[in-house]
């Protein structure tokens, strides 16, 4: 009898929910049962079983962080004028309004040595007004300031690191009004990251200032397994390069950790290269779409003072950004690949309101038709779905069932929101 009731229940509800309680928040993730006998996806997009066990509770990162970082375009060639002009440009272009709030200074802001009191000090040639003045300026624009240090003896560009100086450096950052810390992994003396990253978490917390804590451990010791209780995001891979090969490799490596991400703590496949010149328009569009889908931090890495119209079009796509910032906070993932070398790929993830974000991604060098079958999305084939194209900004269907196909150019992707209009299941 009990067995029959369960079967009947499943027959009535194609979507049921579980509630994950985290940091006082309740995240309700829909569970679509995958039916036996249907094509099994590579991964269940509703699997969040590893998320939320020990989230860092500093109240930040309810959705992935958005902003800009100096490294990918400027590397060490930074100064306070560039940072201020970037803050100005984020406002004047409208990017700040779309959510790009953090203005993050990467390596090379600091002097080569600590000062006579043992404190970090900004490079007096490039940041003569100091970081406090810069923070005040950035705050006056309604933006937030990020800074960079290293869980080692030195930063990667051989400035002083914060290892064994955590309380002093955290206090200094807080006194300057810093809102975000990217914490790198160079010159780490061979000490395991699980020992080097928590002291800075505790030091930041002890300042009383709410500071976003971004771990940059390069994925060496599988931080998804332990960093949830340490930081608001953790790098899952080596540094991105401005190439198709690097971007696709990183997307695949990061995918493995999808079930660990969620509000409060995100997998970080590194910052955006869109606009830096090493990839085509279609490749950058894929880069941005996939980063949005997988709930990666959206940290612009180009010179926002001097963007092309194409670059701006990509990073200002509000519908794609809203997928990234969706309150459900479930990382999208690769659900199916087929064809020569697995070139035809379907990536997808659940969104709030029983919707799905779906990306059809052509990883090969010839135009192809890619088909997503409902089974790989956890939908029953009779479910009727309306489909909004997030790059064309229009509905391409109001009632598709069973599967959806689109022509996708080489290295391009198409991105959609699927809204199931019926969730009935045929009783068998």
Ligand X SMILES: *[C@@H]1O[C@H](CO)[C@@H](O)[C@H](O)[C@H]1NC(C)=O
Q: Choose between 37 and 208: whose C-beta lies nearer to ligand X.
A: 208
The mark string for 360-379 relative to ligand X (x by CB under 6 A, - otherwise) is --------------------
* Among candidate residues 163, 154, 165, the one with its CA nearest the CA of residue 191: 163
CB nearer to ligand X: pick between 203 and 323: 203
Which residue's entry shows tokens 């328009």? 281
Q: How far is the CB of 58 from ligand X (least distance, A)?
A: 4
Q: Which residue in the set 208, 341, 366, 427 belongs to the binding site for ligand X (CB under 6 A)?
A: 208
Q: What is the dihedral of CA 313, 318, 324, 325, to 10 degrees?
A: 140
Our CB check for ligand X shows the closer of 57 and 192 to be 57
Nearer to ligand X, 38 or 85 (CB): 85
Q: Which stretch binds ligand X (CB under 6 A): 53-61, 86-94, 260-268, 279-287?
A: 53-61
How many other CB atoms are there within 10 angstroms of residue 324's CB atom? Answer: 23
Q: Among 57-65, 129-137, 155-163, 388-396, which window interacts with ligand X (CB under 6 A)?
A: 57-65
Out of 92, 124, 210, 405, which residue is the one contacting ligand X (CB under 6 A)? 210
Interface stretch with ligand X, choices 52-60, 241-249, 337-345, 377-385 (CB under 6 A): 52-60
Does the footprint of ligand X cover residue 93 (CB under 6 A)? no
Stretch that binds ligand X, among 162-170, 204-212, 221-229, 363-371 (CB under 6 A): 204-212
Binding of residue 205 to ligand X (CB under 6 A):
yes
Q: Say which of 106, 169, 184, 268 is annotated catalytic.
A: 184
Tell which one of 43, 58, 129, 280 touches ligand X (CB under 6 A).
Answer: 58
CB of 61 to ligand X, least distance (A): 12
- Is 239 among the catalytic positions? yes
Q: Measured from the CB atom, is 56 or 163 closer to ligand X?
A: 56
- In the complex with ligand X, which residue's Cβ is closer, 276 or 371? 276
Judged by CB under 6 A, the residue of 9, 17, 57, 192 near ligand X is 57
Closest contact distance (angstroms) between CB of 189 and ligand X is: 27
Among the listed ranges 56-64, 108-116, 237-245, 284-292, the one in contact with ligand X (CB under 6 A) is 56-64
* Six token digits for residue 61: 């990162």
Binding-site string for ligand X from residue 284 to residue 313, where x marks contact by CB under 6 A and - marks none: ----------------------x-x-----
Catalytic member of 136, 168, 221, 239: 239
CB of 80 to ligand X, least distance (A): 17
Four-CA torsion 162, 166, 167, 169, nearest 10 degrees: 30
To 5 degrees, how large is the angle CA 215–CA 216–CA 218?
130
C-alpha dist (Å) from residue 59 to 133, 142, 212: 26, 19, 9
What's the sign of the alpha-carbon dihedral 293, 297, 301, 305? positive
Closest approach of ligand X to the CB of residue 323, in Å: 28
- C-alpha–C-alpha distance, residues 75 and 388, integer Å: 38
Size of the site for ligand X (CB under 6 A): 8
Integer CA distances (angstroms), 129 to 80, 84, 123, 124, 168, in order: 8, 12, 10, 8, 21
> Which of 306, 381 has the CB closer to ligand X?
306
Task: Report the half-sphere exposure of 343 (CA within 13 A, side-chain side).
Answer: 16
CB of 228 to ligand X, least distance (A): 13
Q: Tell me the two tokens of residue 184.
A: 């790198």
Q: Between 308 and 421, whose beta carbon lies closer to ligand X?
A: 308
175 binds ligand X per the rule CB under 6 A: no
Q: Looking at residues 233 to 262 of the shown chain, list those that interact with ligand X (rule: CB under 6 A).
A: none
Q: Which amino acids are annotated catalytic?
A: 184, 239
The site for ligand X (CB under 6 A) is made up of: 57-59, 205, 208, 210, 306, 308
């Amino acid at each position: 009898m009990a067995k029959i009731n369960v079967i009947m229940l499943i027959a009535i509800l194609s979507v049921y929910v579980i509630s994950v309680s985290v940091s006082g928040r309740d995240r309700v993730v829909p569970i679509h049962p995958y039916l036996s006998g249907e094509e099994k996806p590579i991964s269940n997009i509703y699997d969040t079983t590893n998320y939320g066990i020990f989230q860092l509770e500093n109240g930040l990162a309810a959705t992935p962080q958005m902003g800009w970082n100096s490294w990918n375009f400027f590397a060490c060639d930074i100064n306070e004028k560039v940072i201020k002009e970037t803050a100005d440009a984020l406002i004047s272009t409208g990017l700040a309004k779309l959510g790009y709030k953090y203005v993050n200074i990467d390596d090379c802001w600091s002097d080569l040595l600590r000062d006579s009191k043992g404190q970090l000090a900004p490079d007096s040639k490039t940041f003569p007004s100091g970081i406090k003045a810069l923070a005040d300026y950035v705050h006056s624009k309604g933006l937030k300031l990020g800074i960079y240090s290293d869980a080692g003896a030195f930063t990667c560009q051989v400035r002083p690191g914060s290892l064994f100086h955590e309380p002093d450096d955290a206090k200094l950052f807080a006194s300057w009004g810093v809102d975000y810390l990217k914490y790198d992994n160079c010159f780490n003396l061979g000490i395991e990251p699980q020992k080097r990253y928590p002291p800075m978490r505790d030091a930041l917390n002890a300042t009383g200032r709410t500071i976003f804590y971004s771990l940059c451990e390069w994925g060496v010791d599988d931080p998804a397994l332990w960093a949830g209780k340490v930081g608001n995001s953790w790098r899952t891979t080596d540094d991105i390069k401005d190439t198709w090969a690097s971007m696709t490799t990183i997307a695949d490596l990061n995918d493995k950790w999808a079930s660990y991400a969620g509000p409060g703590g995100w997998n970080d496949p590194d910052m955006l290269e869109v606009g830096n010149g090493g990839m085509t328009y279609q490749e950058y569009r894929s880069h941005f779409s996939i980063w949005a889908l997988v709930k990666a931090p959206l940290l612009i890495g180009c010179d926002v003072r001097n963007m092309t119209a194409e670059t701006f079009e990509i990073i200002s796509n509000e519908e794609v950004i809203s997928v990234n910032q969706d309150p459900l906070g479930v990382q999208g993932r690769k659900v199916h690949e087929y064809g020569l070398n697995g070139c035809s790929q379907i990536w997808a993830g659940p969104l709030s309101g029983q919707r799905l974000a779906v990306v059809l991604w052509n990883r090969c060098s010839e135009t192809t038709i890619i088909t997503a079958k409902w089974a790989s999305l956890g939908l029953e084939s009779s479910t009727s779905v309306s489909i909004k194209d997030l790059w064309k900004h229009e509905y391409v269907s109001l009632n598709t069932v069973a599967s959806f196909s689109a022509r996708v150019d080489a290295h391009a992707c198409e991105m959609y929101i699927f809204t199931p209009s019926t969730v009935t299941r045929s009783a068998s």
